[in-house]
Copies of this chain bind each other. A is one copy, B any other.
Amino acid sequence: MTVATSDEGPAVPVTIRDVARASGVHISTVSRTFSAPHLVNPETRVRVLACAEDLGYRPNRAARALITGRTHNIGLIIADIANPFFPPLIKAAESQARHRDYHVFVADTNEDPTAEEELVHALAKQVDGVLLCSPRMSNSLIEQLSREVPLVVVNRQVTGLPCVLMDVGQGARAAIEHLIGLGHRSIALLGGPRSSWTNREMRRAATTAARSGGVELTVLGPNAPTETGGLAVADQVRRSGVTAVLAYNDLMAIGLIEGLDALGVRVPQEVSVVGVDDIALSRLTRPKLTTVATPTGAAGRTAVDMLLQQDIESPRGARGPGAGTALGVRRTTAQVMLQTDLVIRDSTGPGPHARPARPLAAPPGPDPHCPAGPGVPTAATGDAVAS
């Protein structure tokens, strides 16, 4: 380890006043040079700019925000940055924001609802709005927080708030039908976090699809939405005697496959596995993962658009002329539902020709109605969920 001393430290901060003094004009002229150049004489402008450059002046964005009410920042709160599901969403959001001259600040909550709330507070006055992705806190808390800072919720339906949803219900249905079509009659659903909206939607849709397909559905969980979570239930899956599994997400599916492999259970020969998300990794595992692709990029872009739209409509901090009547700003809130796609790869295969090989298997469901009729449409009709 080297230790050195230097006096190249952050220089004394140079403010608009320093530039004004150096260029012999009033600070308001300097201000205008940067925020409304057309209002200042070209000659003055170049002089001011030269001085600014010379002194290394940069407008203080915090001070500017204090008076304009706009920071040109967007906060992005996500449950777990280690989940490869999120990076494409983040990148899409950042790219979209950049086009609109906004910056995105990302924060990770470690799936902790308390951290989520605290982060919203922390970000509140430093950003123009927050994108809340796969939140773990309650709907009522989200509504309450939305009075503090404009919010757009991703992967959760909150009435009265703009939401970006992915139709995992349809995806789960497609997955179950795919498995039924392959001849599976006993299927497990690996649940994710309890407070996840996606989790509830999947469960509902999978249950419906299984019922109308006349097959048995075992729900295992809740589980941590990670490889470890999937790994941990491998033994339970094996003993349950199911021949196919729909996992809450790809990470769990991958962990499960790993766990089954360790137990000597082959995928897809003995057990078929379907994930959700279509993370980049799902193309790299062996077997390549059959999964429900979710439009993460579109979700990020859409969320930014919705936030900025609502943001532009109602300039921040606008006190009513009548001296602070507590009348909220009127605004429109839309909820968009993005489509999902089943991507069939190598982790699903034909169901057992005979009964399940494992002795502990529960008997198949008693009343098979129709072989594989499309289930009741469940999209977009959900009420508020996730207490």
Contacts and interface: CB of A to CB of B under 8 A. Distances in A.
Contacts of A104: 107
A211 interface: no
Contact of A4 (B58, B324, B328, B332): B332
Interface string A331-374: 11111110000000000000000000000000000000000000
A269 interface: no
A362 B160 CA distance: 68
Contact of A331 (B6, B103, B119, B334): B6
A256 to B, nearest CB: 11
A143 B334 CA distance: 46
A326 B12 contact: yes
Contacts of A137: none
A270 B71 CA distance: 56
A216 interface: no
A7 B329 CA distance: 6
A9 B328 contact: yes
Contacts of A264: none
B119 A18 contact: no
Contacts of A284: 227, 254-255, 258, 285
Interface string A85-123: 001101100100010000111111010000100010110
Contact of A126 (B4, B5, B73, B94): B73
Contact of A94 (B98, B108, B380): B108
Given A66-B62, A333-B5, A11 B328 contact: yes
Given A106-B107, A227-B284, A148 B58 contact: yes
B10 A58 contact: no
B91 A108 contact: yes
Interface of A: 1-13, 18, 56, 58, 60-63, 65-66, 71, 73, 81-82, 84, 87-88, 90-91, 94, 98, 103-108, 110, 115, 119, 121-122, 124-126, 143, 146-150, 159-160, 227, 254-255, 258, 280-281, 284-286, 314, 316-317, 319-320, 324-337, 380
8 contacts: A5-B330, A9-B329, A10-B328, A12-B326, A13-B319, A81-B90, A84-B84, A106-B108
